[in-house]
Amino acid sequence: MSLKTAISISATASTLVQFLTGVPICSRVRRQGEAGDVSGLPFVMGCVGCLVWLKYSLMIDDPAMILINSTGLFLQLFFLLFFYSFCLGAKSLSVVRYQVGGAIIALMSVMVFVDMAGEDESVRLQRLGCIGAMASIGFTAAPLVSLRDVFRTRSTASLPLPMIAVTFLVMVQWYAYGCLIGDRFVQIPNLVGMIVSGLQLLLFIVFPRKKRTTTPFQIQNA
């Protein structure tokens, strides 16, 4: 087995695990009985990213990328619909609707932009690759929408640790795969994703998972 094949299999398996990290998020929402402070943006960005990369992988005829992105699209759509069913408040519903609406407009714009290249396959691939790179970075950075709550409460309880940790590992493997196949559109977003998810993991070292009831200053002077 070649190194390329081994990393391809490993990256595909890890990405499937990454997609399944939506299960704990949905379980938390179900236990709460509503979406609450949990953001559905990772699922929206996941759908966008999988759609863009599925089209890209079909154009370059890469079986590993076709398999993982078609599977990911199905799972992300399922998680998004599940999450939407628990958006009980008007605010939660409107936020998700705006996110989905924005995603649809973005995808339509992508298709128009790519098709403007006409029959020039190399230009179409370049444009789609750039957009796919941005979508991947957006998916990786999606948990950062909860960053304000993290600093306000000094707690990482609102951040999806399993998703962030697995994302970091997945980005490392797909970056290596991108280097092996010599595709900068696979390399660049995964390199950026490694950095972004790595910084998010550092937040779990700085802040606890549970909200603090007292500050360190108060404890010291108690």
Query: 143 pLDDT band (50/70/90 cuts)?
Result: low
pLDDT in tens, 19-65: 887 888 888 888 888 877 677 777 888 888 888 888 888 888 888 78
At 195 the three-state DSSP class reads helix
Residue whose entry in the numeric block shows the structure tokens 């444009």: 127
Task: Pull the structure tokens for residue 24.
Answer: 């704990």
Q: Is the pTM of this model over 0.75?
A: no
pLDDT in tens, 59-87: 888 887 888 889 989 999 999 888 888 88
pLDDT of residue 75: 92
The residues spanned by each domain of the chain are 3-209
At position 122, the amino acid (one-letter code) is: S
Determine contact, residues 53/132, Cβ cutoff 8 Å: yes
Name the strand (E) or helix (H) holding 80: helix 63-85
Q: Which of 40, 142, 50, 48 is nearest to 82 (CA)?
A: 40
